[in-house]
Structures are given as structure tokens and as C-alpha cells.
A and B are shown apart, each in its own frame.
Chain A
Amino acid sequence: MRRCGLFIGLRLWAALVPVQVDPDYPLGQLGVPPVTTAADPLRLVDLRIGVSDDSLRTSSFETRLRLGATAFFGGEVRGQRLAVFFDTQRLELGVSEQDGELDLEGSYRASFFRARVAGEKRRDDTWNVALEGSIRLSPDFEILVDYEHDTDDVRGGPPSLNEFIETGRLEEPGRPTRVLRSSSVGFLYQRENHLELAADASVSRIRTEAGFDQTRKRARASALWNVAAFELDGRFGFDRFSGRLERTQGLAELGAAFRFAGYFVATARTLQIWQPAVERFTHDYRGAVTFFGPRFRFARSSDIGDEVLRLTRRANELGYNERRVYDLDGLRALRERLSLSAAREELAGRVDALYLAEVRERNVPQLGFELARSIDKIAGSVTDAYRVFFGVPWRVAWPFTRGEDRVEFLRIDWAFIDERFPSPGWKTHSHAITATAELNRQHLLRFRWESPGQTPEEFAFNIWRGRRWSAEYVYELGR
């Protein structure tokens, strides 16, 4: 009884600790970043520099600038990939090139629909084109339509023995199994912040690597339900293949996250894929427990969710057609887009209020572990993954203590992956260590070292990716 009283007392004390709206970071207090104000004429909003021991192929440089009050533009160099983009609230355009392959992307957001087209031009001048559309019937409900078309209808076939005899060379591998054409229709329903339902049905023509075609009819549905201390999500799907390899395939994924004692979150997730009357061939199970320094809040059942709801409803009344999102990157993109709109001055207060809610209700993970097991019956492998991390908050404190004014500062993640192929008796281990330092919400340094294992297939091909390291600096204004 005494211990119970002490526990309740601690909970009450924790609840009464004042939450610092503008917390202290290693680089000092941050204030409200100028997301809603126009640049004069340019403002740097993103800078990302990455280097690695394999510098030429994987180093990257990405920058994004705000142009006045109306647009963002920028570019990216990632290894051999070059990209530029230009975004307004309604229009998004992007183009990238790598090794002679071109990616084009454009989208337009009207008051009641959004259309996106993406095209990939290959070196052989064939195109893969994807069209996506959403029609908003209410602030909570959208109809989704997709169409995909691949102009490369080359059909795989037997290799030419004569050519092999003449040249002594093996032909390049044919195109992998791919979607030639696909059409789908579905919906997304978002009820307040606590419920999300989505479903779609599609028909696809698939050309196999062997050269024969299959028709895939697919139906998928997903749901997410959140209450104050609990979140449940699920995804279910059903594929029917007709043609040479006629079969039916099912997919089910179920996840749950539960907050307990205010500062701990337990999560569990499973994914199963199977062919009825044959076997479940993919099993994935994972569970984790994380301790947070400040009290943990689900974004959907906190002030963040309330601000998102207010902001998107008002934006949709104004004709800006915004979907509700809850992850950090999605929230930042939402705030940025609306700050480009003609109604940015009206929305500025709500945009800043959303940012302040994100800061106030930040989750600061300090200790955690995850166990995961994946079984792939086709590959004949069993993979166990162990991940642990500890974080030192700012101001510096032990990871296992708590405090409502804490922000993320230093964090070390360690992952150990044990992959086994029981039949040939093969084992391989991978390690990865990631060290992250957040100087404030906008400046982040990350160093990663990994020692990958070697699968039997990689051993056969004498492939070992070797120990690698990479380092990254990230600046994100208004994150």
C-alpha cells in the first residue's frame, strides 16, 4: 500500500512538472523557426552531407532552399545520382538522372483532387509510367486511383546457344519479373485522429523473368486504431495469380503498441505471408520495450494530433487538400507546404502551434531493446535480430532517469543480426553501431559502422561487402 502510494505520488509529481515550451539544447534555446515567414529572397532549409569510406559511390550532398514565399527548390548529388526539384504548395516537380536513366516526377494538388505522374526512362528508351490520383470527397475521405504502365514489353526466352558458341559470353540477365500494367482503386478514411481505414483492389499484368505473363488480382485493407495509451494496426491482403503459376497468396500484419507506467512503451508486431493449401512461407515476429525520459505520448492522442486535425481541416476548407499525417517528416512537410499557400498568413498561427506541440510533446527515447525473428521458408533462412540502444539526454543525465524537460542529445544504437541457414548448416553474423548527436532539433551528426555477414550465396559469388563506415551531417530547418 505504501509502495502503491509512492508510485501514485511519483506519477502525480511527474504530471505536475512544468513542460518547457522552448527547451534547452546543446546549442541553446531554439525559438520558433521561421517556417511560416517568407524568405528574402532565399533561405537554406535543408543541408545534408554524407561521406563514407567508399566515398565516390555513396557520398551525398543535398540542399534545399526556400524561394520567397512561394516555393522550395534544391538539388541532390548521391553517388552518381543527380537530382533537382521545385515545389510549391500545389505543384511539385522533380527530375533525376543516374547512369543514363532518367526519373521525372510531377504532382498537382487541387482543392478536391491530387494527381501525380512519375516516369522512369531507361537507357533503352523504354518507360515505366505511374499515375496516381486521389479525389477528396470530404475532409476525412479520399478515393484513390492508380495506374502503372511499362512500355518495355520484352519477353524473356531461352538463351541463344549459337551466340554463346560464337562469343563465349553469357547473355546479360533478362528483365526481372515486373508489372507491365496495373490499375487499382481504393479509399482512405481518417476518422478524427484515432481511426484510419484504407483498402484497395487492383488488377496487374505481370511479366515473369521467364517470359510468360501472369494476371494478379489483389485486394488489400489496412486499419489503425489509437486511444490514449494503446495503438493497434493491421494490414491484410489477398493475391490471386492466374496463368502458368496459378496460386493464391495471403498476407497479414498486425502490430500493437502499449504505453505503461507513463514512460515505457511495449510494441509487438507480426507479419505472415502464405499460400493457402501450401504453407506460410514468411513469418516475422518482433517485440520491443522502450523507456522514454519525458512521459511518452502517441502523436495521434496528444496535442499534436489535435493541432494536425485543426490545421488540416482548415486547410481543406480553404481548398488546400491536405491529408492528416503524424510522423516528424510528414508533419514538417505539411507545415512547409501550408506556409507556401496563399493563406499562409491566416494559417501561420496554426502552423506554429503545431510546431510548438511537436516540441512540447516530443518523445525522447533513452533505453530500449528489440528482438525480432524472421523465417523465410523459400530461402531456408532464420534471422534473429537483437537491437539495443541507450540515449543520453540534454542536459546530460543517466539514460534510466526521467525528466520532462529533456531533449535528445547522444544516442548509441547497436544491432546484432544472426542469420542461419539450417539445412546447409551456415551461420552469419552482422553488427552495426550507430552514434547520433542531436545538437538541437535542426542539427544532427550521425556516424555508422557496420560489419555485414556473408550469406552462402554471397560466399558462392565471393562477395563480401566488408566493414564500412559512413558519417552524415543533417540540417533541417523547422524539424
Chain B
Amino acid sequence: MKRRQFLRLGLSGAAGALAPSALREAVPRVNGGINIAPLRRLVTNAELTPPIIIPELVDLQMKLLYDLGFEQMRITISFELFGANFLAAIPYVRAARALGIDVLGIFGEFAGNDFVRAIANPATRAEVLETYARIFGDFVPAASKSVGAPGRFAAQILNEPTHFNGLSPDAYVRSFLEPAYLHLKEDDPTIRIVSAAPVASAEGVLRAQKMIEAGLEHVCDVVAFHVYGTRFLEKLAALTAKPVWVTESGTEGTPRHLDWYASTFDTIRRSMPGVERIYWFLLFDLQPNRFRLFDIVRDPLREFIPVRESVAAIERLEARVREASAGVPRASYEELVPDITLYFPTQEDIRLIEETSFGLPEGLFP
């Protein structure tokens, strides 16, 4: 039995068993995309202290995502030699897809160059990309029939390669995006490959020109940009005829969030007609009053609780969900995902990693 079939049977059986008998429609997905951090513990540098992944933290972020009606989620799947943060991304991706949320997974790394070295090296390129594709791209059943179709998985090859990895734009296209495109399409021709995203700044425009000149559009399905300012939108729009995903957009300073959501997103869509998706940056991180919508604090009794930081923006998102719900009661997150650990890494995932030349990192499973 292939892994894909195994997952289909295992997860759909489990989801079916846990899903409520009375079928209520899921919360409507009307609020576009959002970036989330694949938190596994609520600290800056989470070492390998057990538990490696705190289920309640995953549960909380997924609940916020579901309740606020987001259609798409973008998340970093940090390689780190298949370390703890790689594993932590698994429940986020699978749960989101089970909830009908499309997932854009960044193939890259929070810090370091292990991923780019693994992709640049012909000896390890295929196994790394195929392991990513099999663990994250394989079929995930919907949590309930009320969800409709499960979310699809798309891959973004690196985040901002010049900014984070020091790679030149043309080398990125030639040596990273093209091989990844071919390997991933070979495994699944339907997977959407998203390019790394130059920032919509002066440097970003120049880098995007170089990427297009090097053949970017031949080796991706979607061109991505990050938009933190509106000055260069027309210039970016003129660069490509491909579909565009704005994979990060937001503004620094909580009081400005609502205006960015309400008017700047419209400006982006008007200025860049090819834009299909915009992902807000971001749901939660550890830096207050900058980009995040929520803070998460640890309450001794209730474990992790969300604190509304960008209140006006959150209320707008909720209002849109309410409006789309038209007063019809909707299935709660808890009804759809009664046990988040169902989506946690499986023995099969571990086996796939063990079979690579990297193996499982030491200390991860003592």
C-alpha cells in the first residue's frame, strides 16, 4: 500500500469517526490568506525540551485561523536537517488542509543554509524535495464533509533568497527554483510551484527584473511578491503576466492594520491585476505592536490563550465571517478537530526521514 493510500484510509477513517453526526456547515472562508509561524513551544529559541511540539499551541493557532475564516495559510517548513521545526510544521499543514484551508509551504529555513546547500547538491537535492513533497503534499482528507474539499498544498521555493540566503536572483532561478520545479512536478504534476518573493521595494524591483530575465516564469506557476509599501506596485505588475500571489503584506504598528486591510489590499488588487491571493503578515509572533494580529499568553489554568492585539482588524475579519454566515450556525473548530494530535507526525513520516541520507537528528527522539 502506498503512503498516499495509507493516509487516505487512516486519516479519513479517524476524521470520520471523530466528526459530529449532525452536519453543520463550516465557517465560511472569506478572509484571504495569512502567514502563521509553526510554533511548537512559546519561547524564542525552543530547544529540544520535551514536548517537542505542544499540541495546545498548534490547536490554538488553527482555531484562530478557522474561526476568522481565512482561505489560505502560508507557513515556513524549516528544513534544519529534518529537525524539530520541520516536524512542527506537519500538524499545521495537515490540520489546515483538513479544514479546507489551502496551504502554501515555504521550502526553506528560519536560519542557516542547510536547505540551500541540500538543494544545490545534486546528491541530496532529490531526496530532500521528495521528502518534503511526500510529507506535506500527499492527500489529506477533509475533517468533515461539511468542510467540502480539503485544502490544496502549494510549494514556495525559498522565501526571499537574496535577503535571507545571499543568493543572487539569477542563481536562485537557475540552481534552486528550476530543479525544485522539475522534481516536484515529476512527483505531482498538479502541485503549484510558487517563486520566492522579492519585496516590493526598489531593490525588489531590480531583483525581480533579474529573476524574470533568467527565466523565472518558465519554472513556476505563480510569481510571488512581498508588499510592505505601495510605491512600486505598478512596476512589479508590469513585470509578469503570470498569476501573482502577494505572500506577505502588512504594516508595522497595530493601529495601522485596519486601514491596510481595508484600503491597501484594494490598492494592491487595483494596481496589480494579476494578484490572486494576498497573505497578511501575520497571525502571531513574539514581537508586540508590529505586524501580528494576536498575542498568545500562557495562563496557568487555561494553558494558552489568545489576546486580541489588532482589535479593529480582527473585528473586521469577524464581521466579514458573520456576514457570510448569514446567521446560520456553523460547525465549531472543536467539532471538526477534536484531537489535533491526529495530524501530528506519524511513524510513516519518521520512516521517510530516516530513509534519507540525513536521518533523524540526534536528540530529537531520545
Give CA–CA (A461, B217) in the complex, Å. 23
Q: A278-B202, A278-B206, A460-B116 are in contact. Are A159 and B178 (CB under 8 A)?
A: yes
B212 within 8 A of A: yes
Q: Which residues does chain B contribute within 8 Å of A281, judged by CB atoms?
A: 202-203, 206
The answer to whether B206 touches A378, judged by C-beta atoms less than 8 angstroms apart, is yes
Q: A158-B219, A164-B182, A426-B166 are in contact. Are A245 and B212 (CB under 8 A)?
A: yes
The answer to whether A170 touches B117, judged by C-beta atoms less than 8 angstroms apart, is no
The 6 A-B residue pairs whose C-beta atoms are closest, nearest first, are A456-B166, A279-B202, A158-B218, A210-B215, A421-B166, A460-B116
Return the chain B residue nearest A381 by Cβ: B166
The answer to whether B209 touches A247, judged by C-beta atoms less than 8 angstroms apart, is yes
Give CA–CA (A208, B202) in the complex, Å. 22
The answer to whether B215 touches A380, judged by C-beta atoms less than 8 angstroms apart, is no
Residues of B at the A interface (CB closer than 8 Å) are 113, 116-117, 120-121, 162-171, 174-175, 178-179, 181-182, 185-186, 189, 202-203, 205-207, 209-210, 212-219, 232, 235, 238-239
Which of B116, B121, B169, B215 interacts with A211 by CB under 8 Å?
B215
The answer to whether A462 touches B214, judged by C-beta atoms less than 8 angstroms apart, is no
Q: A423-B166, A424-B165, A459-B117 are in contact. Are A157 and B202 (CB under 8 A)?
A: no
The answer to whether B207 touches A378, judged by C-beta atoms less than 8 angstroms apart, is yes
Q: Which residues does chain B contribute within 8 Å of A165, judged by CB atoms?
A: 186
Q: A209-B213, A459-B113 are in contact. Are A424 and B120 (CB under 8 A)?
A: no
Give CA–CA (A381, B182) in the complex, Å. 30
Q: A161-B185, A177-B213 are in contact. Are A462 and B206 (CB under 8 A)?
A: no
29 CB < 8 A contacts A-B: A157-B218, A158-B215, A158-B219, A165-B186, A174-B215, A208-B213, A208-B215, A209-B214, A210-B212, A210-B218, A211-B218, A245-B213, A245-B239, A278-B202, A279-B202, A279-B203, A279-B205, A281-B203, A378-B168, A379-B168, A380-B162, A423-B162, A424-B163, A424-B164, A424-B166, A456-B113, A459-B117, A460-B117, A461-B175
- Binary per-residue interface labels of chain A (448-463) against chain B in the complex, 1 for a CB within 8 Å, 0 otherwise: 0000000111011110
- Give the A-B pair count, Cβ closer than 8 A: 112
A2 within 8 A of B: no
Residues of A at the B interface (CB closer than 8 Å) are 156-159, 161, 164-165, 170, 173-174, 177, 208-211, 244-247, 275, 278-279, 281, 377-381, 421, 423-424, 426, 455-457, 459-462
The answer to whether B212 touches A279, judged by C-beta atoms less than 8 angstroms apart, is no
Give CA–CA (A122, B350) in the complex, Å. 50
Give CA–CA (A170, B176) in the complex, Å. 12
Return the chain B residue nearest A162 by Cβ: B186
- Would you give the shortest CB distance from B323 to chain A, in whole angstroms? 41
Return the chain A residue nearest B174 by Cβ: A173
